[in-house]
Amino acid sequence: MPRQSKDYYAILGLSRGASQEDIKKAYKKLIKQWHPDLNSDRKKEAEQKFKEIQEAYEVLSDPQKRAMYDRFGYVGEAEYSQTASGNAFEDIFRDFEGFFGRDVFDIFFGERGGRERSTASSRSGEDISITVDIDFRDSLLGTQVPVEYERYETCEHCGGSGSEPGSGYKTCPRCHGTGTIREERRSFFGVFVSTRTCETCGGTGRVVGERCRVCGGSGRIRKRHKTVVNIPPGVENGEKLRIRGEGNAGYAGGRAGDLYVVIRVRASNKFKRKGEDVYTDVTIDYVQAVLGATIQIELPTGGSTMLRIPPGTRPGTTFRLKGEGARSIRGGKRGDLYVIVNVTLSKPKSRKEEELLKELAKIRGIER
């Protein structure tokens, strides 16, 4: 019985004269667009489309099959045995579902039984973690850091399928195309039969005809990736930023993992951060402490400001500069800058100084 003929060109949105290059391009684009994992809102439709696109590609990317298709409008049964049996299985599965409803079906075929057959082998890529060192000032202001790291990217040669373009698929030798493996266990209570998804084909019932010669069948290629990480203002030492989708590419169209950027803030010799507040210290002369002074204070975000030290300031006095601290990356208002005042004492540095101090002692009635 000939297969029901389908318009493979229309499925890929191509005209009859399309080149191999056009076919490959259209396939890559559509397979991404209709990947069931990316279409959770219309999974059934996406699964159907996904399968059609693969089928169309298998035929049109193979010059022999394509010629046959162009001539007869379908590709002979023998050529198609695996896909045909796959479809037969799918039909049985649908009948079961219609008859028993979903729950019973799941009992029959195990948790991940036939239902996710077309997507079971697609898995998310792994997350990657990198460390980035930044200066204290940049941690407050935010910065952009160029980074370079190794990651797996989708193999362009096979579009991530792992199969050498044009080589098609063959029935999985492990599960013989069923996508599941049945196990019988005998115990005191009787015989238990369990089924699980076939690991070899990931439940799809088929494996690639020929492994992609570029990626060796994994669908991914290790590459050095360069990008620029945006670091928001206010990050603290040890903070972990997550950048979605910048990790390893997924398997067989699965979504990419995430990139975790661990921030290490280089210690500053001037400033210390506690929560959103920043601490610094400043050293003044005892005469300034006694008479009062206006001194320049460096700010943690750069630049400086003048701080008025009132007469009679004791060592260890702390001044607060409102809003000159750090900001949390989670929002909220900025912390404050605390300036701790150190005071230096010294011997008189000249005859003149000594005389003046003695005079001062007399005025204040200090015994010497």
Which residues form the interface with Zn ion (CB under 5 A)? 155, 157-158, 172, 174-175, 198, 200-201, 212, 214-215
In the complex, minimum distance from the CB of residue 155 to Zn ion, in angstroms, rounded to a whole number: 3
Between 165 and 257, name the residue whose CB sits nearer to Zn ion: 165
Q: How far apart, in whole angstroms, are the C-alpha atoms of residue 206 and residue 202?
A: 9
287 DSSP 8-state letter: H
Between 60 and 172, name the residue whose CB sits nearer to Zn ion: 172
In the Cβ-directed half-sphere of 21, how many Cα atoms lie within 13 Å? 0
List all residues 6 or more positions away from 82 whose beta carbon is below 8 Å from its beta carbon. Answer: 169, 170, 171, 177, 205, 206
Judge whether 62 and 166 are in contact, CB under 8 Å. yes
Between 203 and 257, name the residue whose CB sits nearer to Zn ion: 203
Judge whether 26 and 13 are in contact, CB under 8 Å. yes
Distance of CA 1 to the CA centre of its chain: 48
Between 212 and 259, name the residue whose CB sits nearer to Zn ion: 212
Q: How far apart, in whole angstroms, are the C-alpha atoms of residue 329 and residue 242?
A: 13
In the complex, minimum distance from the CB of residue 247 to Zn ion, in angstroms, rounded to a whole number: 19
In the complex, minimum distance from the CB of residue 143 to Zn ion, in angstroms, rounded to a whole number: 37
Distances (CA, A) of 59 to 3, 23, 62: 13, 10, 6
What is the CA angle 300-301-305, rounded to 5?
A: 70
308 DSSP 8-state letter: E
What is the CA angle 165-171-173, rounded to 5?
A: 120
Between 207 and 235, name the residue whose CB sits nearer to Zn ion: 207
180 DSSP 8-state letter: E
Between 89 and 260, name the residue whose CB sits nearer to Zn ion: 89
In the complex, minimum distance from the CB of residue 154 to Zn ion, in angstroms, rounded to a whole number: 8
In the complex, minimum distance from the CB of residue 23 to Zn ion, in angstroms, rounded to a whole number: 17
In the complex, minimum distance from the CB of residue 215 to Zn ion, in angstroms, rounded to a whole number: 3
Judge whether 57 and 6 are in contact, CB under 8 Å. no
In the complex, minimum distance from the CB of residue 62 to Zn ion, in angstroms, rounded to a whole number: 17
Between 160 and 325, name the residue whose CB sits nearer to Zn ion: 160
Between 30 and 212, name the residue whose CB sits nearer to Zn ion: 212
315 DSSP 8-state letter: T
Helical spans, DSSP H, in the chain:
8-11, 20-33, 43-60, 63-72, 81-100, 102-109, 136-141, 286-291, 351-363
In the complex, minimum distance from the CB of residue 199 to Zn ion, in angstroms, rounded to a whole number: 8
Residue 38: which of 179, 199, 245 has the closest Cα? 245
